[in-house]
Amino acid sequence: MGIIKAVGYYPHITDETELEEMASDPHKVQAMFQQMMTESVGNWIRQADERLKGSGVKCFISAGNDDESYIDSLLNSSDYVEYPEGKVVKLDDVHEMASCGYTNMTPWKCPRDIPENELGAKIEGVLARVEDKSNCILNFHCPPYGTVIDLAPKLTENLEPVLEPGGGMELAPVGSTSIRQAIEKYQPLLGLHGHIHEAKGVAKIGRTVCINPGSEYTEGILKGFLAELDEKGIKDYIFTSG
């Protein structure tokens, strides 16, 4: 069970009767997922509270486009974890962070997938509250469109990958145009992105450094990114894996 949980799944031991009930009622399946997700996120929050108490370490946890809205209250319940969605927070005397976990529409119509015009309105709303955009960090789940960090397999109408003549998968940009427009307009210091698991990399849009550490959670690997900032900008950064 522990190994299954470690790679991002939600194992549940059941019997034939309950299995038949869930097979005939999708609402029961959703209720089971909600229960297990709530327990999992709640456990992370408790661990963070226990380990960060008295440390002075700031911890921000954001939702992504796959996350249901019911986890928001859990992330807001912590004494030490801050849920920054739609907020501007001060990281230090120089740097602010603006956050948005929503993305443009995907073929899977996830809970936080929204049309580009709505996403653009959310982004403008949060960036309007940033005092110094030149030293701002964008904690935006979705990467900007047309960069090496938003390339994903191109899909057919049946959600099957399009193959190139040589047999490899054809890639296409799937990031957000409104996020790219905001970066081009305001030129913040740093963009922290995710969403496209296979698109690890660094992209520059003007002066803005945009990062996607990628994801290999199904292999039990935690990918990350560390940046050292000072009043002059990005002093150094490194990708992490463990």
Instruction: Tell me the per-residue pLDDT of 14-68, one tens digit each, with 9 for 90 and over.
Output: 999 999 999 999 999 999 999 999 999 999 999 999 999 999 999 999 999 999 9
How many structural domains does the chain have? 2
Do 24 and 101 fall within a single domain? no
Do 185 and 91 fall within a single domain? yes
CATH number at residue 164: 3.60.21.10
User: Mean pLDDT over residues 215-220, rounded?
Assistant: 91
- Quick one: pLDDT at residue 9? 87
Do 128 and 223 fall within a single domain? yes
Q: DSSP letters of the chain?
A: -HHHHHTT-------HHHHHHHHH-HHHHHHHHHHHHHHHHHHHHHHHHHHHTTT---EE----TT--TTHHHHHTS-SSEE--TT-EEESSSS-EEEEE--BS--TT--TTB--HHHHHHHHHHHHTT-S-GGGEEEEESSPBSSSGGGEEE-B-TTSPBPBPTTSSBPEEE-SBHHHHHHHHHH--SEEE--S-TT--EEEEETTEEEEE---BGGGTB-EEEEEEEETTEEEEEEEEE-
Do 95 and 51 fall within a single domain? no
Do 37 and 68 fall within a single domain? no
Instruction: Tell me the per-residue pLDDT of 177-195, one tens digit each, with 9 for 90 and over.
Output: 999 999 999 999 999 999 9
Instruction: Give percent of the chain above pLDDT 70.
Output: 100
Do 110 and 206 fall within a single domain? yes
Do 94 and 212 fall within a single domain? yes
- Quick one: pLDDT at residue 220? 87
Do 119 and 229 fall within a single domain? yes
- Quick one: pLDDT at residue 5? 83
Do 18 and 66 fall within a single domain? no
Do 235 and 115 fall within a single domain? yes
Confidence of residue 1 (pLDDT cuts 50, 70, 90): confident
Domain, as residue range, for 22: 1-57
